[in-house]
Amino acid sequence: MSDDRTPYISVENVSKVFGGYAALDDVSLEVHEGEVLCLLGDNGAGKSTLIKILSGFHQPSSGTMKIQGEERVFKSPRDASDLGISTVHQFGGTFELMSLDRSFFVGLEPTKGWGPFKWFDRKTANEIVVREMQALGITRVSDGNRLVGSLSGGERQVSAIARAVYFGAKVLILDEPTAALGVKEAAHVLRIIMEAKLRGLAVVLVTHNVTHAMTVGYHFAILIHGEKADDFAKGERTREEITDLMAGGEAMGELEAELARLVAAGTQPA
Amino acid sequence: MLALKNLARRPEFAAFVGTLFVFVFFGYFGWPTFTSALVTAGWLNVAAELGLIALPVALVMVAGHLDLSVGSILAAGAMTYAILTGHYDLPDYIGLPAGLGVGTFFGFLNGLIVTKTKLSSFIVTLAMLFALRGLVFGITRLTTSTVLVPVEVDPFVRETFGGRIWRTYENAIILWVIMALVVSWILYKTKFGNWVFSIGGDETSARAAGVPVERTTILLFMGSGFGSALLGVTQVALFGSAQVSAGQSYVFFSIIAVVVGGVLLTGGYGSPIGVIFGTMTFAIVSQGIYSTGWDSDWSSLILGVLLLIAVFTNNTFRRLALSSGDKKDESLSTARRTDPQTSPEPATTKEATVV
Ligand SMILES: Nc1ncnc2c1ncn2[C@@H]1O[C@H](COP(=O)(O)OP(=O)(O)O)[C@@H](O)[C@H]1O
Ligand SMILES: [Mg+2]
């Protein structure tokens, strides 16, 4: 699927080989601002590998990446974040034993003072983290001094998203953000993804959950064994087709037959 | 009540209770000698000397590493100073910085090897402990043909580093206080301190967040190398000589003081104030035993038991700290000021109530 606008990120014919095994094979993708791209696929399909390339953890074995139309090579996660690409790994920030304000500002601490006597401005950090968390609906957090480990899984995801948004990310990459969450928390995280999209960010959402993907997604890509099996916009495929594809290409016929039987038995709305 | 609960959750609280316990214990069994000025100076001096190493080692351990090489680095610093001034008659203003510089350099080497090879710091610094011990022995014997080098310490250096207040309290206590202030400032008040916590918490995430992990780690090992050498030259100033085998016992003493001080062995958590208490606990037990009339061997038993209790307590406190939230409301509050579907303006412009 292509588009007239210049995508924020465009991945062109990217492959990644790990010791002879192609985890990604000739994948091309476009990530646009103000859109949620859902990356779907079974375990081992190469989703995390693709994300690690986008966030500068890995370099592609072949193929190129363009940021706003310009070819770029990321040598480190720092290079990606400097270009506005922010990744929230599966369990959010994992500094369990740090206070929320400390962990929120790791690597980007606000300081006060001069010369060698600059100090980490905890007061400002604390105020900002509480403000940003509350703005994203986490009203329970009223003190940045509490430890990250005392937050729920959803609150940690939200704090990681809040961090990315606060530091001006243009692209927010989320690796299975709802996987470990309960229904209510997952709904909250999805709502925040929508909010990030409305603020003009590009969101890349990796998920197993077709319902979650269909709720927030605008553009979908399905990976099977490292290859892009399908790429489509909202409304172009049914839930059944997506589920079917995610289960893996070769199982398709079998599943189709099974689905047909289920529909015939009336247990599944057509 | 709430304040008390918060106090109990601070990482140094258990360490403080430990110090209080051993103080009362020896105050009772060592009555009345234990509380005399002389015995107090005795354990404070031991605490101060150990503290010069334990405090920077605590930073290394908060970052999730170990430094076992402190014993040999102490000897290397002391010997460098002693050989240059005592054997080659160079002035102290060359010998003393050289001693400190050698210690810092071997700390740098530790950090460099740990960050470049990704080997565990346990093995790297253990190797350094042995290799450097051999080097110190070899070079000392080659240059001086002895293992004990006497030094005519410059009076100013002797007074500064080896002096005593009221002839009892070593000036090392002042160095210890300065070290404590510097280490606390670094850990609590600087960006660098935040990086130390983040590296100890999760090195990969710290790197992803843009923390210069390698540089920070190397600087931490340089700090413990410097602290070890500082104690080395201080002891030369105190005793007027340096010995090749000096300092080996500090390898374990420093770890005991740091762990009893509440620093988690896994890193990411701990406080310099706690380490000060841990160091005092160690010193009180090792010196207080002499006031009781018991055989001094018993102090090792007490220290061993205290260390076990400390590891157990640290883990309990860690759990306690992680559950400090009010668990009544597990689910997210979904109350929203604005509906995201209908409000495209950035939330940063929304008014926020800062509590
Ligand atoms: N660093 C690596 N070294 C070797 N193989 C890897 C590495 N990372 C991923 N792989 C392999 O690549 C394939 C895709 O993995 P991944 O991208 O993690 O899949 P997904 O996130 O879709 O579950 C898997 O077979 C995995 O074992
Ligand atoms: Mg994955």
Whether B7 contacts chain A with CB within 8 A: no
The residues, ordered by sequence, that sit 6+ positions from B195 with a Cβ below 8 Å of its Cβ are A106, A107, B206, B211, B212, B213, B216
Could you read off the pLDDT of A32-91 as tens digits, one per residue?
999 999 999 888 899 999 999 999 989 999 999 999 999 999 988 888 988 999 988 775
- Look at A94 and B194 and tell me if their CB atoms are within 8 Å: no
By Cβ distance, the residue of B211, B269, B325 closest to A151 is B325
Q: Write down the domain spans for chain A.
A: 9-97+167-236, 238-270
The residues, ordered by sequence, that sit 6+ positions from B296 with a Cβ below 8 Å of its Cβ are B289, B290
Nearest CA in chain B to A94: B202
Nearest CA in chain A to B330: A152
β-bridge pairing B241-243 and A36-41:
unpaired
| Residue A222 in contact with ligand 1 by CB distance below 6 A | no
| A127-137 mean pLDDT | 93
Collect residues with CB below 5 Å from ion ligand 2. A 48
**Which ligand has an atom closest to residue A52 CA?**
1
User: Chain A closest CA to B332's CA: distance in Å?
Assistant: 6
- Look at A147 and B346 and tell me if their CB atoms are within 8 Å: no
Q: Is the pLDDT of residue B148 over 90?
A: yes
The residues, ordered by sequence, that sit 6+ positions from B32 with a Cβ below 8 Å of its Cβ are none
Q: Which residues pair with A175 in a beta bridge?
A: A206
Q: Whole-prediction pTM value?
A: 0.85
The amino acid that residue B256 corresponds to is I
Cα dist from B43 to B18, B162, B169, B282, whole Å: 15, 16, 10, 9
Cα dist from B229 to A144, B97, B123, B151, whole Å: 39, 10, 21, 16
Contact A213, A205 (CB under 8 A): yes
Atom number of ligand 1 nearest to Cα A47: 22
Could you read off the pLDDT of B277-294 as tens digits, one per residue?
999 999 999 999 999 989
C-alpha closest to that of B132 among B60, B74, B88: B74
Expressed in angstroms and rounded, the spacing between residue A242 Cα and the centre of ligand 2 is 18
Could you read off the pLDDT of B86-132 as tens digits, one per residue?
999 999 999 999 999 999 999 999 999 999 999 999 999 999 999 99
Expressed in angstroms and rounded, the spacing between residue A43 Cα and the centre of ligand 2 is 7
- Look at B322 and A150 and tell me if their CB atoms are within 8 Å: yes
Looking at the domain B30-318, which fold is it? Answer: ABC transporter involved in vitamin B12 uptake, BtuC (1.10.3470)
Q: Is the pLDDT of residue A10 over 90?
A: yes
| A122-141 mean pLDDT | 93
**Which ligand has an atom closest to residue A45 CA?**
1
Q: What is the ipTM of this complex?
A: 0.82
* Confidence band for A267, pLDDT divided at 50, 70 and 90: low
Beta-strand (E) ranges in chain B?
148-150, 164-165, 169-170, 241-243
Rounded CA gap, B279 and B50, in Å? 7
Report, at the CATH architecture level, how domain A9-97+167-236 is classified. 3-Layer(aba) Sandwich (3.40)
